[in-house]
Amino acid sequence: MTRQNAGQGRAPQAPDPRADLVLQVRDLHYAYPPLHEGDEFVDVLRGVDLDLHPGEFVSVMGPTGAGKTTLALALNGIVPRSTGGRYRGEVLVHGASTKEHEVAELAPSVGVVFQDPETQLFCMSVEDEVAFGMENLGVPAPQMRTRLAEALALVGMSEYRTRSPRQLSGGQKQRVAIAAVLAMRPSVIVLDEPTSGLDPIGKHEVFSVVEQLRREHSIAVVMIEHECDQIAQFSDRVLLLEAGRVITEGPPADVFYDQEAVARAGVCIPQVAEVATELNALTGSAHRFLTVADAFVGLHDQEVA
């Protein structure tokens, strides 16, 4: 009797598509604790799933109360560790569960930038702000100086390193907050409405910096945002949340032209998409423009044809 080769006749195993995931959210449920004894728990997240790959830019949209900020805070364990409440499901950062690791342990992998940079900036100078997180992680001084210079250069704030954050514009403050997170070398940056309250120039500054980071340094981005025109331009995927559930997700062109889902989530769509929708209704065409450049090329090609 001949002994068969151990691998003979065995079909090759397909690669695990999740092997390169930097972040996984599995069936995440969360309810805030009641304000008063005897009151009911307040359900906020109801079975959210999310996979995030290196360098991917995912935007999360939805109405007020949809659970967007709660989801953002759950991605590095702030929820539920700092909030209490009722929690079920799993959030994995490079395979490490937020249930088993403290927020401080996950901070080098997942950096969070909040809506108001004023809540994160408290030092006397820009360079002190960027150095603060590294000091808490015990980064050696020579390495800290290198990271500080690199982070400020990435966000275009090198010339402001000795300036007080109080002297900066809103967009500049947000870029410093991003630099402070970048200096810790995370693989994921979570931004919770980072352009809220900024003027158009400040909004463009923030989106441009984030786009550069994910494109040139493979940093994955989860952004909670309402700026649909910018989201359409920069995002790889869009998630629509409504009452704590993902009602649809996909490339911006698919999501913004899903009229039922958009109406249900109560979110706006890019102005160019609104024009395309009206044009489709009038002419029977099937345009799916998201930017002016898309519209120019599409309409020009149609005219030539």
Is a pLDDT exceeding 90 seen at residue 10? no
Q: Does residue 228 lie within any of the structural domains? A: yes
Looking at the fold, whether 65 and 170 belong to one and the same domain comes out as no
Instruction: Indicate if the pLDDT at residue 1 is higher than 50.
Output: no
Going by pLDDT thresholds of 50, 70 and 90, the confidence category of residue 7 is: very low
For the cut 70, the answer to whether the pLDDT of residue 14 exceeds it is no
Assess whether 79 and 193 both reside in one domain. Answer: yes
Residue 11 has pLDDT above 50, yes or no: no
Terminal-residue alpha carbon distance, the chain: 71
Residue 136 reports pLDDT greater than 90: no
The percent of residues above 70 in pLDDT, for the chain, comes to 92
Confidence of residue 56 (pLDDT cuts 50, 70, 90): very high
pLDDT recorded at residue 303: 61
The residues, ordered by sequence, that sit 6+ positions from 173 with a Cβ below 8 Å of its Cβ are: 117, 118, 121, 165
In a domain, 304, yes or no: yes
Looking from the CA of 262 toward its CB, the CA atoms found within 13 Å total 18
CA distance 198 to 170: 6
Q: Please compute the mean of the pLDDT values over residues 7-21 and round it to a whole number.
A: 49
Same domain? For 47 and 167 the reply is: no
pLDDT tens digits, one per residue of 156-189: 899 999 999 999 998 899 999 999 999 988 999 9
Residue 285, pLDDT score: 87
Classify residue 123: in a domain, yes or no. Answer: yes
Provide the number of structural domains found in the chain: 3
Question: Average pLDDT of the chain?
Answer: 88
Say yes or no: 130 and 171 in one domain.
Answer: yes
Instruction: Report the distance separating Cα 25 and Cα 97, nearest Å.
Output: 10
User: Residue 4: is its pLDDT beyond 70?
Assistant: no
Looking at residue 249, what DSSP letter applies? E
pLDDT at residue number 300: 66
Q: Kindly report the length of the chain.
A: 305
| Same domain, residue pair 150 and 230 | no
Give pTM, 2 decimals: 0.86
pLDDT in tens, 224-281: 999 999 999 999 999 999 999 999 999 999 999 998 999 999 999 999 999 888 888 8
Kindly report, residue by residue over 69-96, the tens digit of the pLDDT. 999 999 999 999 999 999 999 999 999 9
**pLDDT attached to residue 247:** 96
Same domain membership, residue 105 and residue 228: yes
Nearest Cα neighbor of 71 from 114, 28, 12 is 28
Q: Is residue 104 domain-shared with residue 194, that is, in the same domain?
A: yes
> What is the domain extent for residue 275?
270-305
**138 lies in some domain:** yes
Q: Which has the closest alpha carbon to 182: 78, 106, 111, 107?
A: 111
